[in-house]
A and B are shown apart, each in its own frame.
Chain A
């Protein structure tokens, strides 16, 4: 199960090289996203879309809010 983190932990992990992934729709990503984040909308997460990513590399996912 994924580890839940807060904003400070996110910044620490990103400073250590973690990959940021926004899972909202592409339109929302285009409006605003966290610096350096990739866009992989939830509906598009499959083996093909993530095949270029290192499975052992820390990855942080986020959406709009906690809801």
Chain B
């Protein structure tokens, strides 16, 4: 659609027309702000907790477990140096052998969600699929935060009109 709009504008005499090829989806997937009716409603990216503990693949389970639980968490996210999500550790993984490397203990390649997904949709999806938590990432895989189902459900109760389907 945008290429046709650009061509039309050039035909009408506009001389410096640019086309943002990846479009609004790319912008929103990067977690950047928008304006409009939906911008006021909670979404995955705004409800996700960005203080979730992170760890490296070479860390040990015991070390990560102690750090996470001392901070009040029962989960951690394995990331690389660029903060790209590589794996997820929930309670069961954190309870594994303390000397085991994170790379062996984690759930590799967890399902991730984009920041723009309406919270009502996230709550429904997480409930239906029995997900206690899910990483929220930008389109290039970088961690935004960990969305807890309890947070999503609580926020969704105040957002009955989050209508667009995005999962």
Contacts and interface: CB of A to CB of B under 8 A. Distances in A.
Interface of A: 1-7, 9-10, 13, 18, 21-24, 29-37, 40, 42, 45-47, 50, 53, 55-66
A46 B6 CA distance: 12
A53 B1 CA distance: 21
B9 A61 contact: yes
A23 B5 CA distance: 7
Given A10-B20, A31-B38, A46-B12, 16 more contacts: A6-B21, A7-B27, A7-B30, A13-B18, A21-B5, A31-B164, A32-B28, A32-B35, A32-B37, A35-B34, A40-B5, A55-B15, A57-B16, A59-B17, A64-B25, A65-B24
A31 B23 CA distance: 15
A4 B21 contact: yes
Contacts of B6: 1-2, 61
Interface of B: 1-10, 12-28, 30, 32-39, 116, 164
Task: Please report whether the interface of chain A is mostly helix, strand, loop or mixed according to DSSP.
Answer: loop
Contact of A42 (B1, B14, B164): B1
Contacts of B37: 30-32
Contact of B2 (A7, A36, A53, A62): A62
Given A61-B5, A63-B1, A31 B36 contact: yes
B33 A35 contact: yes
Contact of B19 (A24, A46, A62): A62
A23 B35 contact: no
